[in-house]
Structure 1
Amino acid sequence: MASSTPPYISCISLGMIIIDEIHMPNRPALIDVLGGSASFVTLGSRLFAKTPERVGCLLVAGDDFPETVREEIESWGTTLAMKKREGEKSTRGKLVYEDDTFGPKTFTYSGAPLRATPTDLLNTPLLHAKAFHFFGTPEEVAAQKPELLQLRKDNGIEERPFIVWEPLPASCTSINQQAFLSACKHVDVFSPNHLELSSIFSNPPEVEFDTDKLESYAQTILDSSMGTGGTGNIVIRAAEHGALSMSRTSRPTWLPAYYPKGAPEVVDTTGAGNAFLGGFIAGWQRTGDVRDAVGYGHVAASFAVEGIGLPKVERVEGRVVCNGAGVAQRLEEYKRKLGEASVKSERVL
């Protein structure tokens, strides 16, 4: 039975923690680099946590998980639950950049990936989390949401969690369009990137960035029912173009990315979308406002793009500092930028 005083866990990710091997032209390969959607989502939420222990981290590992990588995760101060799959290898990937711009790249798994499921949360405080990040196909989401709720109910947890779904990129095809429309009813926020959304509604996917088409696709999802009783939100992550948020009760709102296109601070965008969602969840829990939460997401993503791999986060004189910059200060700076920007038709571009 659940404890009478369960720990407060703000959020966790059911995505993957991956050990990356990164190859770049004319540079030595980087080995055992911490990556994966769950790593970046966790760090994105950790940036805004007043007490890092309130952010949960689920690590599904094989027998060979490097101790140095585990120590890196532990250094964040989050509540870590490690589930070891005996006799299996940890999830490893090979990331190859075609040139030194950190643009074109390929990613392949070195072996079969270990995917987290709600059952991995059993006998851990993470089952009590207030919010969950799902990373999977429509079929996985449709199965995992009721499974998660049943596991929580069986353990005396009646509160319904806030669920944000990031789709598995390979599942984003027009063939799966109806499956996506059905699965969106199970979550509170659906957040593909703009290319993934286009792939769901267009065959072949459109390459040109078009705000009107993206808003039209998002409206189709809303019309089909988004979230419980149609009260959910869609947040489209569009890299340097910013992010779109929509619901049945709000007009389309575009907020700009923290760094504009071509900014010299942007080194590598790998993981930025995941960090955005971690920051978004933290912002939603603080403010209850989607627009404000998107701002938190953009600030979290800004730290993720400043280097290779996960950014360094620490506490300095009571402040959360990432890559040497104060997180709260950057958030305030972003809010000031929005205040100075012109708003037209509910868009900030």
Structure 2
Amino acid sequence: ALTTRGWNGYGENEYRAFRYLTEKKRLIVEDLTPEFLGSKSFHLICSPSRCGEMIQQILDRRAAGGFGDSNEKKPIMIWEPVPDLCTPEELANTLKTMKYVDVISPNHEELAALFGENHTAGVNRALIEKHAQRLLAEGIGSGDTGAVVVRAGKEGCYIATSELTRWLPAYHQDPTKVVDPTGGGNGFLGGLAVGLARTGDIVEAARMGSVAASYCIEQVGVPSITCTHDGGMGTPEEEWNGSSVLERLTEFRGRTG
């Protein structure tokens, strides 16, 4: 297979399952083109040990390429722990690796599994908050300035840093708007990565992630994108699924401000 293929399963009470259908195709740092190597943020889905290795390799390649990183200008590292290693046996390695990232973002089931627990009757907010605080207490990022962002399906996301805790709702509150949740988590973290690079504000970044995810789950497959040109002049305006991303973000900001 040209790419790794996987299976996502969904059931009642926010139940989710995942398994690989083909051998994993491992992406390595050497695969990054110079353009991608210069990114302001990186989303890593991998084991704890590989996360630390990849971050160091990215920084080494950037140093060799003259990107001029400093402590203040290093790229933002967002880590999504690989689901099958969210186990109590990997908890110590997970806590150690958090020191090298700016954001750790498991979903609610993966976070619970790290501590040998589960959500038996839907999303348990108290359990999410307890586990997120346990991660935060160990320190995330340089100077313990990082964040935990827990993705919790229709309940939205929970954000925890040393300075704030905050729940944000999912963008879609009408369940009929959700056609297929596949890709919602990756869409969220892509939006979060862009938001952090642009604003440096974890809550605003999570809003951007929520809006990005909303477009991923409105249909089977990828969203439709159209561009309108103002008579051939000016900046083209994009519409996703027939709506303006900026207008949707503004509306969501008004709901959650």
TM-score (norm 1): 0.66
Post-superposition offset of 1:313 = 2.2
* Counterparts in 2 of 1:239 and 1:179: CA distance versus 1, 3 Å: same
> 2:198 matched to 1:280?
no
The residue type equivalent to 1:325 in the other structure is: S
* Residues 1:170 and 2:80 are matched in the alignment: no
* Aligned residue in 2 for 1:124: 34
Alignment correspondent of 2:232: none
Partner residue in 1 for 2:244: 326
Change (3 A) 1:221 1:110: closer
Q: C-alpha distance in 1, partners of 2:6/2:46? A: 20
Q: Does the CA-based 8 Å contact 2:6-2:22 persist in structure 1?
A: no
Residue 308 of structure 1 pairs with residue 226 of structure 2? no
- For structure 2, the residue ranges without an aligned partner over 5 or more in a row are 230-235
Question: Paired residue for 2:143, among 229, 233, 242?
Answer: 229
CA distance, structure 1, for counterparts of residue 228 and residue 10 of structure 2: 37
Deviation string for 1:295-340 (max 9, x for gaps)? 111111110110111212232233221111111111111112224x
Residue among 50, 56, 60 paired with 1:146: 56
Corresponding residue SS for 1:325: coil
- How many residues align? The count is 245
Residue in structure 2 matching 1:134, options 44, 52, 55:
44
Matched, 1:297 2:215: no
| Alpha-carbon offset, residue 263 of structure 1 | 1.8
Structure 1 residue runs of 5 or longer lacking an equivalent are 1-88, 340-349
In 1, distance between residues paired with 2:15 and 2:156? 20
1:6-42 deviation line (CA, Å, top 9, x unaligned): xxxxxxxxxxxxxxxxxxxxxxxxxxxxxxxxxxxxx
State yes or no: 1:220 paired with 2:134. Answer: yes
Q: Which amino acid aligns with 2:120?
A: V
Quick check: 2:226–2:238 contact (8 Å CA) kept in 1? yes
The alpha carbon displacement at 1:96 in A equals: 7.3
Counterparts of 1:202-213 in structure 2, within 5 Å, are 202-203=116-117, 205-208=118-121, 209-213=123-127
Is the 8 Å Cα contact of residues 91 and 109 (structure 1) preserved in structure 2?
no
The 3 A distance-change label for structure 1 pair 221 and 98 is: closer
* % same residue: 33
Shift of 1:233: 0.8
Would you say the 8 A contact 1:137–1:171 is kept in 2?
yes
Query: Looking at both structures, which has the greater relative contact order when contacts are Cα pairs under 8 Å and sequence separation is at least 6?
Result: 1
Greater share of helix? 2
Cα shift at 1:107? 5.4
Which letter does structure 2 place at the counterpart of 1:307?
Q
Tell me the alpha carbon deviations over residues 143-165 of structure 1, each in whole angstroms, 9 at most, x when there is no partner. 11111111111111232111111
Give 1:286's aligned amino acid: R
Question: What is the RMSD of the two structures over their aligned residues, measured on CA atoms?
Answer: 2.2
Contact kept in structure 1, 2:99 and 2:144, CA below 8 Å: yes
Q: Is the contact made by 1:320 and 1:328 (CA closer than 8 Å) also made in structure 2?
A: no
Q: Which residue of 1 aligns with 2:98?
A: 184
Report the secondary structure of 1:264's partner residue. Answer: helix
| Aligned-partner residue type, residue 133 of structure 2 | Q
The Cα offsets for residues 115-142 of structure 1, whole Å up to 9 and x where unpaired, read as 2121212x53211111111111111102
How high is the TM-score relative to the length of structure 2? 0.88
Alignment partner, residue 44 of structure 1: none
Residues 218, 246 of structure 1: 8 Å contact kept: yes
In the alignment, the residues of structure 2 paired with residue 97 and residue 193 of structure 1 have an alpha-carbon distance, to the nearest angstrom, of 15
